[in-house]
């Protein structure tokens, strides 16, 4: 699914558990894009935030719950659903690049690779000189 808000172009894959885009990942992506846009005026360009969250069963619309990791900087935000806390970031990035980047050439499958059940990404689209308050986008 692809959508835009006032500052970011957003995309998400279907969740392998839900069979549709994860509504919590979409809400988290919109909230993080708003937060990163708000922080733009008071942080350096190299500013980055990372974190994890545990979504309880029922919160995502599925019965199992989900561990979520996010990585956000001023140019891009990524959310990885259904990954353990110790999942290597380079492998998650390579997997997500293969989905969202037109310039990726792919990579060989290897035993033990961790693949998220869903990924979401937002890329900053507005001009840095045109920092505006992010309007709310309703995602249900």
- For the chain, what is the mean pLDDT? 82
Tell me the percentage of the chain whose pLDDT exceeds 90: 33
d(CA 16, CA 1): 14
pLDDT at 14: 94
The answer as to whether 136 is a domain residue is: no
The answer as to whether 83 is a domain residue is: yes
Q: What pLDDT digit, counting tens, does each position of 118-130 carry?
A: 999 998 885 544 4
Q: How many folded domains does the chain comprise?
A: 1
Mean pLDDT computed over 53-62: 78
pLDDT at 135: 42
Nearest in space to 76 (alpha carbons), one of 98, 106, 105, 45: 45
The answer as to whether 68 is a domain residue is: yes
For 93, counting Cβ atoms within 10 Å of its Cβ (0-12 exposed, 13-18 middle, 19+ buried), the class is middle
16 Rama sector, left if φ>0, alpha if ψ -120 to 50, beta otherwise: alpha
The answer as to whether 43 is a domain residue is: yes
pLDDT at 86: 86
The answer as to whether 137 is a domain residue is: no
Mean pLDDT computed over 98-113: 72
Q: Give the range among 9-13, 44-48, 59-63, 83-87 with minimum mean pLDDT.
A: 59-63
Name the pTM for this structure.
Answer: 0.81
The answer as to whether 41 is a domain residue is: yes
d(CA 66, CA 81): 7
The answer as to whether 67 is a domain residue is: yes
Mean pLDDT computed over 32-44: 90
d(CA 41, CA 134): 13
d(CA 102, CA 53): 29
**Structural domain containing residue 69:** 2-104+114-124
């Amino acid at each position: 699914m692809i959508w835009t808000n006032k500052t970011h172009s957003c995309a998400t894959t279907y969740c392998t558990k839900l069979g549709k885009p994860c509504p919590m990942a979409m809400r988290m992506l919109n909230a993080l894009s708003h937060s990163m846009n708000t922080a733009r005026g008071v942080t350096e360009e190299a500013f980055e935030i990372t974190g994890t969250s545990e979504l309880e069963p029922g919160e995502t619309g599925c019965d199992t719950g989900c561990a979520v990791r996010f990585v956000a900087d001023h140019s891009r935000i990524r959310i990885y659903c259904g990954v353990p806390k110790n999942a290597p970031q380079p492998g998650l990035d390579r997997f997500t690049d293969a989905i969202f980047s037109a310039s990726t050439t792919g990579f060989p499958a290897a035993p033990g690779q961790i693949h998220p059940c869903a990924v979401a990404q937002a890329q900053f689209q507005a001009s840095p000189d045109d920092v505006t308050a992010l309007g709310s986008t309703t995602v249900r």
